[in-house]
A = this chain, B = another copy of it.
Amino acid sequence: MPSNNISESALIKRISRKITTDASVACGIGDDTAVLRYSKDKYMLFTTDMLIEDVDFTSKATAQAIGHKALACSLSDIAAMGGIPKYAVISLGMPKENAVKFIDGFYAGLTTLAKQFKVNVVGGDLSSSKKIVVDVSMIGEVEKKKLVLRTGAKPRDIIFVSGPLGGSIYGRHLTFTPRIREAHYLVHNYKIHAMLDISDGLSLDLRRLCSASKSGAIVYEDLIPLSNDAKSMDEALHMGEDFELLFTMSLREARRLMQKRGNVYKPIGEMREKEYGIKFITKKAQEEVLKAKGYQHF
């Protein structure tokens, strides 16, 4: 919840208004990653994610899990653009006590995932800090024709998620597999109109997608796949940390996807005109406004 008379998205808008970029920047602040022009047929992707103890994980999380999550969050951002990860640099602040043991565990978790997705870890920065803080910055690339932004959703698009939602913070947020392969499958076999990864909760991230695409949406409680970890539909809607893909495509494409991979990708609703707003249809067929109650830092 906004706690400072200004929301996180308003803060980001405030920052981006002050920043000018040159023509090599195809897409700057505001999507999951920056999109940079760098070769004839590919864009470079550039993203960063910071994780802080007591905010993104508790002191109970193992060093290995923290290393895994730190890399996985940036991988998830690259996936959300339809991209392939290439290089990562890792900044790590931690207490001096047990630094060696922590670093060993942290890098064991991180490099296992890095190998799985062929990411080169090419540098970093070590710092002493009372609380653990990690930042992973990642360079990726995407074929120009395969790039997916948040901005391209169209009214009557079908809205999909790549997996069940809710309850991630009970454990899954430390062990999740970023949806690189799923995104690759999707952008190479279907025309995806808009995509992002659900990091702060379906309700908030759907609002971001709608806002970027200047559209409304309708989602059905009946259709939202609930994770086994979720204690309620509210957790699937608002809890965040799911790191599943949220994406939209035409009805025609949607039919094809459901036929081929309907077991994985679940339709949850439909895009609407902006004026319609964002609505939630309960199991009792009641229409409610879907309020964005996802996690906000500010």
Which residues in A have some Cβ–Cβ distance to B below 8 Å? Answer: 3-6, 8, 11-12, 14-15, 18-22, 24-25, 28-29, 33-34, 36, 38-39, 44, 46-52, 54-56, 86-87, 89-93, 96-97, 99-100, 103-104, 107-108, 111, 114-115, 118, 120-131, 133, 135, 137, 139, 297-298
- Contacting residue for A50 out of B15, B121, B125, CB 8 A: B125
CB distance from A11 to the nearest CB of B (A): 6
CB distance from A276 to the nearest CB of B (A): 30
- Contacting residue for A122 out of B25, B90, B131, CB 8 A: B25
Q: Main SS of the interface on chain A?
A: mixed
Q: Which B residues are in CB contact (< 8 Å) with A115?
A: 20
Chain multiplicity (copies)? 2
**CB closest residue in chain B, given A26:** B122
> How far is A6 from B50 in the complex, measured between Cα atoms in Å?
26
The 9 closest A-B pairs by CB, nearest first: A137-B137, A34-B122, A50-B91, A135-B135, A48-B89, A21-B120, A34-B123, A128-B297, A28-B122
Q: Which B residues are in CB contact (< 8 Å) with A111?
A: 18-19
**A99-B50 in contact given A89-B137, A123-B28, A133-B129 (Cβ < 8 Å):** no
- Contacting residue for A100 out of B4, B28, B52, CB 8 A: B4
> How far is A104 from B125 in the complex, measured between Cα atoms in Å?
26
- Contacting residue for A4 out of B25, B56, B96, B114, CB 8 A: B96
